Structure 1
């Protein structure tokens, strides 16, 4: 390396070293400034705390110090003066410093500060409590994320909680404006939550809601669901209170859920003016987009009123709890399967519920007539005169849950493993359902308008599920088990021919009460009458019968050949399973007029039935159930798999 290159290299190295020294010096000065500032602030804060503790060290109890605070009226006079001279920009900074200081529980004068803080908000709550709470805590927690920090939200709740803790007059304001905040319990820190649970305020809220149900009716429907969620959440956190007040807790939840469905749209009333609610389905009121924007997107139940039966026989705890579940099922129709799955998570639940119903019926307290023997059947029939009774809730819940569970069980679970009922119990349940449905219609408790809801609808659904399962594989082992009890089939058919309401309803909803042979004879009788009514008044010329061994001749051959052709899998209208049953092909749309072809097939089959011609066609059970509008069980789909 020559002299010039060496000189340039040395100059560059010296320049780099000077730059490094300069950066180190600047960094050191900044660190020193930060350290000195931190130490100075820490020293200042310690001095302020020491001075405050020293000034308030002897002032910890108003009674012992014989000092008296100003009255509320005097405080209000001074507060008006403070509001006139208030400087918002500067005082907001002071307020921002005051709010975090309310959570410093380790201060020496914390007891005095707590007394002051609990006294001041009481006046504010009495003056404009509704406006203050509604515009602060509710708006702060109404977003998916709180608008303010968790510390500020907890400080605000702490101020409100301390004012309500010892004042019963503020309890309705606390319920209607604090417990209606969305998921307020989730946002509380451990200190506030522990103070709330230990103060027995939740117990007082339940007592007030039970004694003043009009408070729930006065709350906006959009906020009622928030109250429901908070009451349930607090019930899980405060198990001891729920155990001691289980009746009041379930009653409050049922009342709130009934209020939630006041604006729910009933089936068949949907319109373009309704709104979709993630929980209640179609709703008449718009929902808050800020609160529900993170969720994906029922029938209503009228508020239940106690019937005269409850005046003499108070409902049991099981009836109250079951009524709560029934209200949940009718309120949250979109979550019905999830609720039923939770109830039937353990197989013993349904068995215990059936055992309770048997004991309940055998007590004889629910039978209206003294000449009637006590039994679950007679007790259930007596409930038809008071459909809003809480005593009907366990029976309806059992029927709804059992119908869903039994419909999804396979044969191994139901017949071999005896889940959830033994076969003997299943026979008793089937007999109870069949007898109940028949007598409810026959004695006039149920008509065509009331047969689609209430206790009858629940038990009838279970009855039909059991009948379908028994038709597939019998568990009753009695060919006359499903026939009408105490009434001959001829009487039922006579009622049906006379078009009486009960006869038509029984044959339409429970045709199995009449034997299959008699139903076929009745059907052929109606077909003959229909043929006679369609004949014209022209002269009828009767010629020779068509040739053929079975006297059906060419027309039957035409039907058989046509049916054989349309059900041929090569035509791609129907496919055949391994068991030989037929179901519609998923690729039948390759025919341009495939829907018209299906309609033609239906008319051909109907003509064969109308003429009394037997055709050899084995349709899949799921297809037959769909055509007849019957309940489709899981095994029907397994057959087509």
Structure 2
């Protein structure tokens, strides 16, 4: 009974709950129906009302009173009091539809009417007179704001290149012009209303504030981007003037407030190449900028750290780039007196800061990147138009390192600083100019150089070195820091920047004079102390040094021999000697004392700049020496200690060997090379004698087919086998085996005979230069399998070097550079090496380089004709080269293309094949120990007289002979007393013993 009662109770509760939910649902349905009906009725009422408003508007303005007819008189103009209610109601109630042509047409009619109504001075007709009534003033201002807002909303939709849109653009801009300043309000010229001018100005300022708050500057930016996207403007000059006038009004009326100036600079002055276009098309705008000191105001931002940080953070990299281009353009066209005031520190600091803020690497966000002609790869910004006009931005930045700016920023300043300083006569501490101590003392006292001020009476000079924190030094350093920042950021313009600094106003040499005045050895001690500081990034003096090194690398790379060794203007050979001494020693200190830190010193920008210039000058000295003997050695480096440090794998010693092997004598590097070979042989198990070695290979060679048999039997041998022992058995012309010597192996004789034959020019694998130096033949392809032969020859020469066998094979210097892999480096110049291939061609190209008249008169093209076995073959130096004429602008490019073609392009495959073979035997890292001339000495031995004592000391005897034997004594007496030097060399060539240390000088 109890259970039944409980069940009935539960059923009742569920029924009650369901009924309650049903009533609630019904109520919601009724409310929804009421809301729907109200919405529909409201929409219908609003539509009816809006339609009524539109009809009233069309009835009033689509007829003869709209102000469309050009010949309509003021008397035909609709009275403002009648037009105002209709216009206000229309602008308030009718929402602007950008895609509706009729809406745009009505807005244009309104603009035409109000513009015309503002031009009449009759209070009844003037639209401005409505504002004079107290009860109408606030509503009138409100609906004018709405009108101008509608105009602003339509402006971004217009295309200036379209004729119809250009007319609409001019109309809307004119409307904005009219209502943002009361100057054109005709009614205010009426005597009774003149006193209201200040009040009307305040109303216009209020309107300007409204527009700025609603994105006025962003809208103007969009129009400018569209109108100036091409080198030829798609907007008329009058339209451009109207836009600039509108953009300046809020600034001027707002007294250049921080907010307004920031918006103007970030949105308007960052329009790509805007100043360039204004200067070309509407110079009156530039004059207006100058009168209001816009450039100075823009530069002053950098003095307020917080403001500048907020300002720069609001702009993307490409936007900042365009902004900076316009700043540089403004500075370039500024009058000279004002430009001098702004140059330092304002322009310098602002430009440096902006360049450092522009990213010069690709960000990892996003999938797609876009190539930028100035920055390289970068992620595209949200505003594609910002990447337009890059060619013009490039022109703007060129102004920063053209003659005017370089002279204004650096040239005049450096000349003023250095006017009391002359060249310093440098004498290497290792190689004093004279042994006479008195004479040297007199020279030191009488020498006047950078940092040495001598009295006219010739009294002993008093050293007065400049300090790194000297005001002039700091100023030059900061300006150099600006250019160094440009080098890093504008990666695609690096050569242009370097060329501008190197060849304008002698600035590079003046920086050098300043460096030499910083103390002994160019202030090396002061720079080392500075580099030890942790705040290295904030030291502009370091940037000055790096900029100088980068510029000098560029300068020396394109300097020909006549300019460097004969003209010596402005740099003399003594300057290069002093510079190399400074570089060699400071780099040694940086590595040995671990000044730049333990991590990635070789990637440190300071190290890279210094080391690159050092290598550039060192290789130039190797090709044609300009330094005294032993100039490149570091006296404090003891070879035995250095090699011990290498064996212990000390980091500093290993770095010095990799980056500066020339600091130890050549003979010690040869010993080190031989040690590397011995260590590798030990690791590979190749140290056993020829007889005992299980890995020795036996080849059978017919005397009349030495090259063919050697190639056939050795070409397939793996590298490991070629590095081991190779035993040779000769078969004479009668087909009989020759008796072998030296444990049945005559490999040395085989190697010498093979190399002698393959390098013979008659075989057409190699050719000789005018001074009988060898290089690969460009027409070696007439030989079957010529590339395989080159690889085989490379292996054989590599085997000779590997085993310490000297062969008489004199190579051309440029080919030795290719063996060392130096031609792949950025600082390598084909033109420098060209004399080692063809001195006549070098003289011809140098003639073109220094040709004073128009090079186009020589009728040259980017192509070269060659006689190939009686047939003239034309090669284009680049695609389409036959049609490209050589002129004064591209003659340097032509010269380097020609040099590159003759030394690389036409023998590329042969050189690559030879290198593959050579480097398969000799480790390329070992080769980096030597310069090209030193590599030639490693291959062919030294040209110094034979050291018989050293030869006798290292000679091993067999068959019961010894050094004290009577016959052996006769041998050495004959060599010493009866043989000429040439006969001794011939004897040595036939000598069949193992001679250690022969390659040492």
TM-score bin (small chain): 0.7 to 0.9
Find the aligned partners of 2:137 and 2:299 in 1 and give their Cα distance: 30
- Identify if the C-alpha distance between structure 1 residues 82 and 421 changes in structure 2 by more than 3 Å, giving closer, same or farther: closer
* 8 Å contact from structure 1 (residues 442, 502) kept in 2: yes
Indicate the larger mover: 72-81 or 409-418. 72-81
Counterpart of 1:257 (choices 355, 365, 368) is: 355
Matched, 1:459 2:549: no
How far the C-alpha of 1:488 sits from its partner, in A, is 1.6
- 2:314 corresponds in structure 1 to 218
Structure 1 pair 346/192, CA: closer, same or farther in 2 (3 Å)?
Answer: closer
Residue 313 of structure 1: how far off its partner (Å)? 8.2
For 1:513-532, list aligned pairs within 5 A. 513-532=663-682
Q: Is the Cα–Cα contact under 8 Å of residues 403 and 465 in structure 1 kept in the other structure?
A: yes
Q: Is the 8 A contact 2:361 2:377 kept in 1?
A: no
Match status 1:242 vs 2:331: no
Judge conservation of contact 1:406–1:465 (CA < 8 Å) in 2: yes
Q: Which moved more, 1:164-173 or 1:225-234?
A: 164-173
Normalising by the residue count of structure 2, what TM-score does the alignment of the two structures yield? 0.50
Give, in whole Å, the separation in 2 of the partners of 1:72 and 1:164.
25
Q: CA deviation at 1:512?
A: 0.6
Aligned counterpart, 1:343: 501
Aligned equivalent of 2:799: 607
| Range that drifts further, 492-501 or 541-550 | 541-550
- The separation in 1 between residues aligned to 2:493 and 2:749, in whole angstroms, is 53
User: How many corresponding residue pairs?
Assistant: 563
**Which of 248, 264, 276 is 1:161 aligned to?**
248
> For residue 283 of structure 2, what is the aligned residue in structure 1?
190
C-alpha contact 2:360 2:375 (8 A) present in aligned 1: no
- Inter-CA distance 242–68: structure 2 relative to 1 (3 Å threshold): farther
Alpha-carbon spacing, 1:70–1:549, altered in 2? closer, same or farther (3 Å): farther
1:38-437 equivalences in 2 (<5 Å): 76-79=141-144, 82=147, 95=172, 98=175, 120-165=207-252, 166-168=255-257, 169-188=259-278, 189-211=282-304, 212-238=308-334, 239-245=336-342, 246-264=344-362, 273-285=368-380, 288=385, 291=388, 316-346=474-504, 348-361=506-519, 376-385=523-532, 386=534, 387-388=536-537, 389-437=539-587
Q: Is 1:567 the equivalent of 2:750?
A: no
| 1:559–1:608 Cα contact (<8 Å) kept | yes
In 1, the alpha carbon distance for the partners of 2:569 and 2:549 equals 16
Write out per-residue CA displacement over residues 239-260 of structure 1, whole angstroms, 9 at most, x where no aligned residue. 4443223212122212222233
- Within the candidate set 835, 854, 857, 1:638 is matched to 835
In structure 1, distance between residues paired with 2:373 and 2:145 = 47
Between the aligned partners of 1:82 and 1:273, the Cα distance in structure 2 is: 41
What's the TM-score, normalizing by structure 1? 0.75
| CA drift at 1:99 | 7.1
**Aligned with 1:316: secondary structure?**
helix
Q: Which moved more, 1:247-256 or 1:169-178?
A: 247-256
**Distance of aligned partners of 1:174 and 1:347 in 2 relative to their CA distance in 1, 3 Å threshold:** closer
Deviation string 1:370-427 (CA, Å, 9 cap, x unpaired) is xxxx961112212323442211011111111112212332333222322332222222
Aligned-residue offset at 1:506: 0.5
> Hey, what does 2:398 align to over in structure 1?
none
Q: Is the 8 A contact 1:574 1:582 kept in 2?
A: yes
Distance (whole Å) between structure 2 residues aligned to residue 179 and residue 85 of structure 1: 25
1:340 and 1:590 map into 2 onto residues whose CA distance is 44
Q: 1:213 is paired with a residue of what secondary structure?
A: helix
- 619-628 or 493-502: which moved more? 619-628
Label 1:121 to 1:437 Cα distance change in 2 as closer, same or farther (>3 A): same
Q: Distance in 2 between matches of 1:92 and 1:141?
A: 15
Which residue of structure 2 lines up, in the alignment, with residue 450 of structure 1? 601
Q: Is the 2:484–2:543 contact (alpha carbons within 8 Å) kept by the matching residues of 1? A: yes
Contact 1:264 1:280 in 2 (8 A): no
Instruction: Give how far 1:500 is off.
Output: 1.0
What is the deviation of 1:119? Answer: 6.3
- Check whether the contact 1:323–1:394 (CA below 8 A) recurs between aligned residues: yes
Deviates more, 1:77-86 or 1:314-323: 77-86
Query: Given that residues 572 and 588 in structure 1 are in contact (C-alpha distance below 8 angstroms), is that contact kept between their aligned partners in structure 2?
Result: yes
Call closer, same or farther: CA 1:228–1:71 in 2, change over 3 Å: farther
Higher alpha-carbon Rg = 2
**Kindly tell me: are residues 338 and 498 of structure 1, through their superposed partners in 2, closer, same or farther at Cα, counting changes over 3 Å?**
same
Residue segments in structure 2 that go unaligned for 5+ positions in a row: 1-69, 76-114, 124-131, 155-163, 395-466, 694-726, 730-738, 839-1001
Q: CA RMSD in A?
A: 4.6
Shift of 1:530: 2.7
Report the CA distance shift for 1:93/1:627 in structure 2 as closer, same or farther (over 3 A). closer
1:558 to 750, 757, 760: 750
Q: What's the offset of the Cα at 1:237?
A: 1.4
**Structure 1 residue 96, shift from structure 2 partner:** 6.2
Per mean C-alpha deviation after superposition, the further-off stretch among 507-516 and 416-425 is: 416-425
Shift of the 177–591 alpha-carbon distance from structure 1 to 2, 3 Å rule, reads: farther
Q: Is the 8 A contact 2:177 2:246 kept in 1?
A: no
The verdict on how the C-alpha distance between 1:74 and 1:327 changes in structure 2, with shifts beyond 3 A counting, is farther
Distance 2:754 2:641 in 1: 40
| Residues 172, 70 of structure 1: alpha-carbon distance in 2 compared, 3 angstrom cutoff | farther
